[in-house]
Every structure is written in C-alpha cells, then in structure tokens.
Structure 1
Amino acid sequence: MAHDCIPNTKHCFDSDLNIIIRSTVPIRKGNSITTTYTSTLWNTLQRRRQLKAAKFFLCSCRRCKDPRELGTELSTLLCSDCGGHVVSLDPLDLSSSWSCQKCNNTILGRSVMWGDQQLYKELRSLDNSSAKPLEEFFDRYHKALHPKHRFFVEAKYGLVKFYGNHPDYRYRDMTREQLERKVKYCRELLELADVIDPGLSLFRGTLLFELQAGLVALARMLLSNDILTKEGTQDYMSEAVKHLQEASDILKHEPEMENGGLDAKLKILSDELDV
C-alpha cells in the first residue's frame, strides 16, 4: 500500500496472522488507499529519517512540506533568545537550517537533528513505573520545545494511559489535579488526532475511551467532595456516555477487544469507578 503521513486506513493482525485493513475515513473513488510506514505521532524530521533508512525514500506529502505540520507544531522549537517559534526553512531537506520566526535567529540542521535524537533517547529511557518522570519532562524542556511539540505529545499520551490504569494511580486514589490533567491532555490530543490521525483510528479510539473514564472519575470526585451537586455532574456524565459510545464503535474491531475483550475492560473500569 502507498504511504502517507496522514493515512486513511489502519491495520491489525488476527490470531492467524492475517492482516486486516480498515478505512478510518471515507475514501472517495479514485483516491489512494494509504497506510503509514512510521508513526503518525512522530515529527517530520523523525518520520523522514526513518523512511530514508528503512524504506529508501523520502516522503513529500502535504504534512511533510509544511514547516508547522498543518498547524500541529509537532516539529516547532522555541528560540533561546526571544522565545519565538523556530521552524525548518525547508522541511523536505534534512540538512536545512532552522530559523526563528520572530528574531531570525538560525540553528544548523545537524544541531536540531542531534537534539531530536537525544530527546528521543531520554524519553525512551524514563522510568515507566511512575508518572513523575513524564511530569518532570515538561518542566525541563518547556523553554526549548513548543507546547505541542512531538515529545510533549508523547509524554502527554503516556500520562493519559498511565493515570487510572496503573496500580499506583487508580482513579479512586488520584487527586483532582491529576484527573483534570488527564481530561485536559485527552482533549488536546483529540484535537491533534483530528488533523494527523482522524476518524476511526486507534489513537482516537483510545483517547475517547480514556477521556470518558477521566470525566466519570472527575465528576465522582467532585460530587463526593461537595464541589458539584448530583445535578451538576450530568454534563460530565452525558459527555462521557457520548465518548464511550464512539470509543466502543472504534475499539470493537481491535483484536484484543473482540470476543468480550471490550466488555471485560468496561467491567473493570465500572468496578474501579463504582458506577
């Protein structure tokens, strides 16, 4: 299948190792059916380097051509001099210099590439038994990376899946700040998904499932602390039901969710939230 950095299909394998391809968005007659050979969450620098090394070609799709990656800012850095946005002068040239859009300060392409590789290694090496290393990652690099940068996106996605799903961060034991952070990150990542991985993608399905769980847990905590009335929680619950329905429609096709897998996950969540 053809590659695109915003694919219109997703794939998985069944127990017999048959590949299953499903469209994630409507595909018009005559349009290419595409997949991605990398990860939609990677920035342009990492995607194109991987494609060059593993597939022997360089992508030039509309996302790769745009220094701001269609407004997602997954590649954008912050200027050390003025705090302005630093983007590649030519995203299709891996050696291209990067320039601040505010003060025109320039950074060599090889310096950006080196920094990208170092941060990739650091993020992968973080202790995954606690949420704290991911939370501290934001503090270390908030002056160097755009708030929507790819590495912050990966850290947010990691925290979204960590909060409520790890034995040390069960919903009933989480603070209001942690619950609100989970909901906030889910909403931010869903906005990103609508651009780079839209429709029935696994990324969106997972985010919707985690968002509804976070909303229910937050409403329950606010109610138990008399911050909200029972009637006041209805907006939370109504939104959660809507997200759960859409998440179920997406995730029911995933192999691990078939044969009752989704029902089992919902039962565990229900028991944890006591709803």
Structure 2
Amino acid sequence: MEDKLCFFCHCVPDGLCECGLAYCNLHKQIHKPGDYCFPFKVSEREGVGRFLVATRDIRPLELVLWDKAAVVGPGPETLPVCVQCLVRLTPDHVLCSSCNLPLCGAECMNKKEHNDECQIFSKDRFKDELILLLLFTLVYLYIVLQDRFKDDPSLLLMFTMISKFFLDELNLTWTNTEEIHHIVGVLMTNGFENDYNGTTARALYPTLSLASHSCIANLRHAVVPGKQVALQAQDFIAKGTELCIRYTHLLQTSLKRRTQIKNSWYFDCTCARCTDPTEFGTLASSVYCPLCRVGLMLPQNSLQYSINFLTKYKSLLPPSNCYIVISKRYIHASTGNSPDSPISSLRTEELEDKIRFYRSFLRYLGNLDPGYSQHSALATLELSKAEVELFKREMKLEKRIWIEEEETNGENGIKESGKIKSKIQNFLKHQMFVQTQAHRCLRKVGMSKANSSTGVEQKTTFTSCE
C-alpha cells in the first residue's frame, strides 16, 4: 500500500515517475530535481518513526540524496559572526540600520537571508513572537533537561527564574508543552554542525534529518561549506535496505558511542556493531585480563550502560582498543608529515613501525568502515608514502649491487641488474596506482568547491562508481 502513495509524505499521489515511484506535487522536486531520480523513499515504523529506505540497488559512491539547509545559524560555541554570511566579525563591522543586528559590511545588508529576519526584528509588533521563540528553548530545556541540572543548583535556579519570568510576567499561555517539545526537539536533535566561512555553523536539513543512525553506516554525508549536503553510498546497498549515517565518531568504544547517542539523541543504539561485543572481530572495546595480562576480556552484555568496563580496566588496554588505535593513528599521522620533519628524516625502524601500523589499521577499518571510506583512503596514502620511502632506501643498496654486477660479470651482470631495475619500475608503478586510487576515492567522498551549487548539476560527480 505504501508504494501506491507519495514516496515522501504518503498522501494520495499526483503522478508516477518513470522509475516507478509515486509522488505528490509538493515533493516531486525532492525525488527528481533534474534528470536524476534519487533512489530512496520514506518509510515509518513504530518505535523508530520515519526513516529512509533504498528503492533499488545502489552502487558504491552513487549519489543517494541532495539536500539544502532550511535554517543555518552560528554554532553553539563560536565567536560573534555576521548574521548574513556567518563570517567572524572584525572591529570595523556594521550594524543593520533597520534591526541593529551585526553585519560584516554593507554588502550583506540587503541580501535575502538577512532581509527575511530583518523584517521581523525591526518591527515592534513582532517582539512577542521573538520572546516566544526564546521561551520555546528555555521551557524545553527546563522541562526535559532539569534532571541534568540537579548537580548544579545555580544552573537550575537560573533556568527556574528565566522560565518563571516568561510564564508569569509575560503571561504567554496560548502555547502547550507538546509544541515546545516538538519544535525545540527538532532543532536540538536534527541539527548538523559544519564549517561555514571559517566558523562553526549549525544547519537543519529537512530530508537528511530522516536518515537513521548506525555505527556501521552504509551512507556517508559530504557537507558543502554552507548550506548544502550530499549523501553517497559508501558500499553496495541492496533494494529495501534502511539507509543509515553515523552520528558518532568511528573510533569510539561501544560504551562511549552509546552513551553519547543516549545523551544527545535520546535513543538506545542497538545496531549490529553495538550488539556484537567483539565489534566484528576488531575487539575495539576489549581490555587485557587483569590476572594473566595476556587474554582479552569483553563485557558480557555490550548493551548495558552500567558496565563501565573501560573505566575499571583502563590500565589494561590492548592494541586493538579504540583509544590505543586513535593514539597510534595521531602519532603516525604527525610523524614525517611536516616541513621540519619530512618522511625522509625518519629512521628505518620508524618507517617499518609506521608501515606495520597502517597495514593493521586498514584491516581494522575494513571491518568497522567497509566500502569507500575516507579513513581508509587517507591511511592508504600514508602507508604508500612510507613504503615508497623505505623502498628507496633499500634500492640504494640494490643500485650499488647492480653496478658492481655490470662491472664484474659482464653480460650476466647486465641481466641481473635489469631484473633489479624492472623490480623498481614495477614497485613504483604499483605505488603510483595505489596513490591515484586513494586520491580518487577522496575526491569522490568529498565535495569539490569548484562544483556548481545546485544538486542537479553536481549529480555527475557522484553517480559513477568507476
């Protein structure tokens, strides 16, 4: 029955796309903004709400969704910025002559985004609506989050006084708790933070917000600096599969990920990675046995928040634990990558250690972040750079050997030296191919600033998996 209704809102459809998906006029543009049909529909399940589902098989790196931000504003932790372009304010910034809001210059004063808010802020008859907007936020925080303020009486007192002022002094009684919870809840839980003109911005993407979370996601989102975002398939996705992104960082233990999700998005993650104590055999949350210091231990139930496993055994973390992997990754990424310390300055032992780590790290990522992964591409480049440098050093010795062979053994020596030269050429050719593929992957999983700002024109960047 669902397939006979609009793919997005499930109302009676106004048309049927050539791909077989029904749509209403309001949401036709979301499905087909140009010549390309996006391969998803919205489904609904009790206890989950609305989510996205693949309407056909999707190839790796194929564009699945393109969305523009409905609202963009400064991030929660940023310096004062221009309300139009969100550039950090300088001492010579200006104030709007109509609403008194800060702008970086006169060129931002008459642009559309600011004009919309300027009309509200500059008219006295709208002041109560602005106060109501503040009220929504404050009352929501007070009602939903007051349990978190019990350890800080001064913070709780502040919220109590502010909410009392709005409710009693201003007597704004024509709203209700459900509206407050819904409006502010959407802003708090569905907002995405991204870089915008060098500052941190928070944006609300209407369609992207429907993507579910999984700690082993099949989609990755690439944010265009500013107001647009693209979702790509990270691996092959079969028709009917739920489309998921990752809300948390890849390299976190199960307890940390699930606690962050519970506190920030108010649900318990029970994805395949969280329900598997071994985390697909990576043992990313394991610790050494405190008795033998050899065997590895895992929580019996990885879904129990009460098992503060890592805090109890933090001195017994094995190499597979996320925290150890992160530490090693930062160390190896920082060595041999600066002008003061180029890779050629590393000792041979350090190069060999770097190569061992990145080979192991790539196997680790293959389980936790399969498919076209930015993490894997960057690790591949680091591994290749180290292998090339080590090979160059080994070939210096080989070069001396082939010169000696040619000088002392005549024609046979020339044949032997030719084999060595061929070995060098084949190795360098292979490394060039590896690095080209890694850079290609990074281009495909990222967003090019040179591309057009419209999703229709950018689709060619993502639809090919070649």
TM-score, normalised to structure 2, is 0.44
Which residue number corresponds to residue 298 of structure 2? 87
Calculate the aligned-residue CA RMSD, in Å: 2.4
Which residue number corresponds to residue 180 of structure 1? 352
Deviations 1:153-181 (A, max 9, x none): 11222133213212343111111111111
Q: Is the 8 A contact 1:215 1:237 kept in 2?
A: no
Which of residues 249, 252, 260 in structure 1 aligns to 2:440?
249
Deviations 1:74-122 (A, max 9, x none): 0010012113211101001111xxxxxxxxxxxxx33x34358xx6xxx
Larger-gyration structure (1/2): 2
Matched length: 221
Which residue number corresponds to residue 62 of structure 1? 272
Structure 1 residues 149 and 257: alpha-carbon distance in aligned structure 2, compared to 1, 3 A threshold: farther
Q: Is the 8 A contact 2:384 2:434 kept in 1?
A: yes
Which residue number corresponds to residue 223 of structure 1? 395
Which residue number corresponds to residue 55 of structure 2? none
CA drift of 1:238 comes to: 4.3
- Local SS of the residue matching 1:177: helix
Q: Is the 8 A contact 1:162 1:169 kept in 2?
A: no
Greater helix share, structure number: 1
Structure 1 unmatched ranges of 5 or more: 96-108, 120-140, 260-275
CA drift of 1:209 comes to: 1.4
Q: Is the 8 A contact 1:208 1:246 kept in 2?
A: no
Q: Is the 8 A contact 1:74 1:148 kept in 2?
A: yes
Structure 2 unmatched ranges of 5 or more: 1-210, 402-419, 451-466
Distance 1:75 1:245 in 2: 34
Which of residues 353, 376, 381 in structure 2 aligns to 1:209?
381
Distance 1:177 1:86 in 2: 31
CA drift of 1:224 comes to: 2.7
Structure 1 residues 170 and 225: alpha-carbon distance in aligned structure 2, compared to 1, 3 A threshold: farther
Distance 1:214 1:256 in 2: 27
Which of residues 247, 261, 268 in structure 2 aligns to 1:37?
247
TM-score, normalised to structure 1, is 0.73
Match of 1:20, as an amino acid? A
Q: Is the 8 A contact 1:215 1:236 kept in 2?
A: no
Which residue number corresponds to residue 26 of structure 1? 236
Which residue number corresponds to residue 362 of structure 2? 190
Superposed, 1:100-119 pairs within 5 Å as: 109-110=307-308, 112-114=309-311
Structure 1 residues 86 and 255: alpha-carbon distance in aligned structure 2, compared to 1, 3 A threshold: closer
Q: Is the 8 A contact 1:205 1:250 kept in 2?
A: yes
Which residue number corresponds to residue 78 of structure 1? 288
CA drift of 1:258 comes to: 5.9
